[in-house]
Structure 1
Amino acid sequence: MTTEHGGPATTPSQTVGPFFALPGGLPWPDGPEVVGPDTEDAFLLRGRLLDGAGEPVPDGLVEMWQADEHGRFAHPDDPRGSSTSARGFGRCATGSDGEFWFRTVRPGALPTPEGEWEAPHIDVTVLARGLLDRVVTRIYFPDEEEANAADPVLSTVDQQRRGTLIAGVEDGAFRFDIRLQGTGETVFFAV
Structure 2
Amino acid sequence: MPIHIRPLRTDEIPQITALIRASVRGLQAGDYDEAQREAAIATVFTVDTRLVADGGYFAAETEDGILIGCGGWSARKTLYGGDHQLEDKAPDWLDPAVDAAKIRAIFVHPDWARQGIGAMLLHAAEQAAHTAGFRRYEMGSTLTGVSLYKRSGYRELERIQVPVADGQTIEIVRMTKDAH
- Shared fold by TM > 0.5? no
How high is the TM-score relative to the length of structure 2? Answer: 0.34
How high is the TM-score relative to the length of structure 1? Answer: 0.33
* Structure with more of its chain in helix, by fraction: 2
Larger Rg: 1
